[in-house]
Amino acid sequence: MRGSRSIGRPLQAWSKAWGVEYPAMPNAFNFSASPFDCLSPGEQALVRASVDIAYYPEGAVVLDVGAVPEHLFVIIKGYVTQTEGEEVQATYGPDDCFDGRGLVAGRVSSRFVVAEELVAYQLARATVQELIARNAAFGALLFSDLGHKLSTLAQRAEQHEMQSLLMARVDQAYLRPAHRVHAAADIVSVARLFHEERTTSVLVEGLPNAPEGLGIFTSTSLQRAILDGRSLHTLSVGELAAYPVVTVRASDTIGDAMALLLRARVHRLVVVDGAGRVLGLLRALDLFSFVANQSHLISVQIEQARDLEMLDRAAAQVTRLVSVLYRGGTRMALMAQLVQQLNARLFERAWQMIAPPELVANSCLFVMGSEGRGEQLLKTDQDNGLMLRDGYVPPPDLQDICERFSEALTCFGYPECKGGIMLRNAAWRGTVSEWSTRVRDWLLQPEGDSLMHLAIFLDAHAVAGDAALLAEVRQRLLQLATDSDPLIARFAMAVDAFGSPAGWWNRLLGLGEEGPVNLKKAGIFPIVHGVRSLALARRVMATGTAERIAALVADGTLDAGLGQELLQGLHFLMGLRLQAGLAELALKREVTGNVDPARLSSLERDLLKDALSAVKRFKAVLHHRLRLDVV
């Protein structure tokens, strides 16, 4: 160890006061904390050989604005606050490091003050620069913005994602039903079976020359039968069936199945259990889709469902899909998009099964809230409504139809909305004219929950019926909005409803009240509602936060850099919330998505600090742009 530096009092004195043998501590440097967890053994040795230890008393200024930093600080004990002017930007605790960005830039842009007696490692600038030159990931995680950090993490996760999918069992993929026919069956009857069961293959039994008498007849075989020239009513399927069939065990891995497909040069595998019983067929398309995009498999199940029970089985796969994709490192934006598409198709099919065709054609079924924005990952409360065409007379049993739809979604795992924002509530149904009046009153004459209802409706997304009906009402609403309207400011004021980002950050470090942290209140809601408010003011038609940010950046309302940070921050917070929710599901607890600070890694705390910092800057923009301080 190099000669350790002591600030304020000798090393031996404060070492004894803390009751720790600090001269040996560089050997115990925590290389599991970000960004040091990506260093090689040689790079770790460089850190051990170069690190010093420093002590600062409470109230000491470690770095000030404009200073030229000489070290990267990694906290052992104590806390440091980062301020800009009078505003606290963040608080750093054990295993956190600062100020990497100032070190790279050559100047410190914030003030770092000791909030609680500080002991920290000091890593010289030359050593940090050498680590950055050797290890690009270290540099990215140390001083890049939130987007670059998350991009670096995604690259590190890619290999794990592919490996985890290839090691999954065959029976985790989508197995199509193995319909059977006798070899004596004629081609016309088999073609009819293809049509009725929406399949492209059947297993053929009773083949005298085939192992176990089993073969397969596919749509390709059907083409050969047509070209054969003989009457399809008399031509038997056994004459054109292929054999032997290629089988794979349900317990084999997806990787094994892919290798077998390529080796046997077939497009389907027959999946059998340990006793040799046929469980189903695994198509090449489904197999490769499992690895590339498992949402395709659920989409197939939804499309082929003939009743609500079959839809229920497809709905059960959505949460499992989310879990698999999350563990594999799939991008949050892609996951949310896939879930929105699957849920929309699920709701549409359920509505088509329950509602008469005339009602479907003369109405618009829409979802709202996070589901409408395309930002819902785990199943949450139903938020939906129904818009009827002006002049259309709905069936007399409309209430019963809506009751059955809400009950179906409950069976699918979507809990009833505690606030009654769902189809079975007549207040969330109406004609285009009735809806136009309703949302106009929410905006111009707000009272009670009106502004909350308006916020939820602004995220409405059509999933079934005539989407033009919803678009017409939204257009009428946006025409009422102006970017100087005090009503917009009153609408936007909700971004301050849950306290400041700095307060949440202090809670994460144990400096505030104890208990789990609600990420929706801390960061997700301020981003979503702030963007939604600006979108309303600028008459942006998009409903998703990402699309709204893009539109606001395009018209100059929002700075491109801040827009990107908000989007990346939103996706990161959604990921943390999803991680917590999946853990709650595994323990069979109610899903809250609240985060236990003790379970966050140092990297997650670092990224959370960046996300909440972006939220803080965004709130300042909103206060200035919409004049919230004078409302």
Which is higher by pLDDT, 603 or 526?
A: 526
Q: Which long-range contacts (CB under 8 A, 24 or more apart) does 352-359 make?
A: 352/464, 353/307, 353/308, 353/311, 354/308, 354/401, 354/404, 354/405, 354/408, 355/401, 355/405, 356/395, 356/401, 358/395, 359/394, 359/395, 359/398, 359/401
Task: Indicate if the pLDDT at residue 335 is higher than 50.
Answer: yes
Chain segment 559-577, per-residue pLDDT in tens? 998 999 999 899 999 989 9
- What are the tens digits of pLDDT across the range 14-29? 444 444 444 444 457 8
For the chain, give the percent of residues with pLDDT over 70. Answer: 86
Tell me how far apart the alpha carbons of residues 504 and 612 are, in angstroms, rounded to a whole number.
8
User: 1-10, 105-114, 469-478: which range is least confident on average?
Assistant: 1-10
> Is 70 exceeded by the pLDDT of residue 593?
yes
Q: How far is CA 351 from CA 149, 296, 364, 407, 422, in A?
A: 42, 21, 11, 12, 13
Question: Which of 31, 27, 21 has its CA nearest to residue 2?
Answer: 27
Sign of the CA dihedral with 160 first, then 166, 172, and 176 last? positive
| pLDDT band with cut points at 50, 70 and 90 for residue 381 | confident
Q: How confident is the model at residue 488 (pLDDT cuts 50, 70, 90)?
A: confident
Of 111 and 337, the one with more pLDDT: 111
Instruction: Average the pLDDT over 374-394 and give the result.
Output: 92
At 17 the pLDDT is 44
The pLDDT of residue 26 = 44
Is residue 401 predicted with pLDDT exceeding 50?
Answer: yes
- Does pLDDT of 500 surpass 70? no
Highest average pLDDT, of 104-108, 329-333, 391-395, comes from 391-395
Mean pLDDT computed over 610-614:
84
**% of the chain residues with pLDDT over 90:** 44
Q: Per residue in 180-217, pLDDT tens?
A: 999 999 999 999 999 888 888 999 999 988 888 899 99
- The pLDDT of residue 3 is 37
Average pLDDT over residues 225-253: 91
Please tell me which of 184-188, 440-444, 578-582 the model is most confident about, judged by mean pLDDT. 184-188
Q: Residue 161: pLDDT band by 50, 70, 90 thresholds?
A: very low
Comparing 112-116, 160-164, 327-331, 618-622, the range with the smallest average pLDDT is: 160-164
Assessment of whether the complete model's pTM goes beyond 0.75: no
Hey, which of 159-173, 175-189, 512-526, 574-588 has the most confident mean pLDDT? Answer: 175-189
- Most confident segment among 249-258, 438-447, 547-556: 547-556
Count Cα atoms within 13 angstroms, Cβ side, for 138. 22
Could you tell me the CA-to-CA distances from 158 to 152, 205, 292, 490 in Å, in that order? Answer: 10, 44, 12, 44
Q: What is the rounded average pLDDT for all residues in the chain?
A: 84
> Does the structure show a pLDDT above 70 at 7?
no
Would the pLDDT of 539 be above 80?
A: yes
**Angle between helices 136-143 and 146-166 in degrees, nearest 10:** 130
Which residue in 502, 553, 563, 497 sits closest to 526, CA to CA?
497
pLDDT-based confidence at 503, cuts 50/70/90? low
8 Å CB contact between 240 and 217: yes
- Helix/strand number for the chain, H first, E second: 26, 16
Q: Which whole number is the average pLDDT over 330-339?
A: 80
Among candidate residues 129, 142, 68, the one with its CA nearest the CA of residue 101? 142
Q: What is the mean pLDDT of residues 537-551?
A: 93
Which of 532, 524, 533 lies closest to 569, judged by CA?
524
- Res. 158 pLDDT band, cuts 50 70 90: very low
- Please state the separation of Cα 582 from the chain's center in Å: 12
Domains and CATH numbers, the chain: 11-142 (2.60.120.10), 331-479 (3.30.460), 486-630 (1.20.120)
What pLDDT score does 444 carry?
Answer: 86
Cβ contact 602:96 at 8 Å: yes
Q: What is the pLDDT of residues 36-93, one digit of tens each?
A: 888 999 999 999 998 899 999 999 999 999 999 999 999 999 999 888 887 777 778 8
Q: pLDDT tens-digit profile of 113-147?
A: 999 999 999 999 999 989 988 887 787 777 655 55
Residue 440, strand partner residues:
none
How many whole angstroms from its chain centre is CA 486? 34
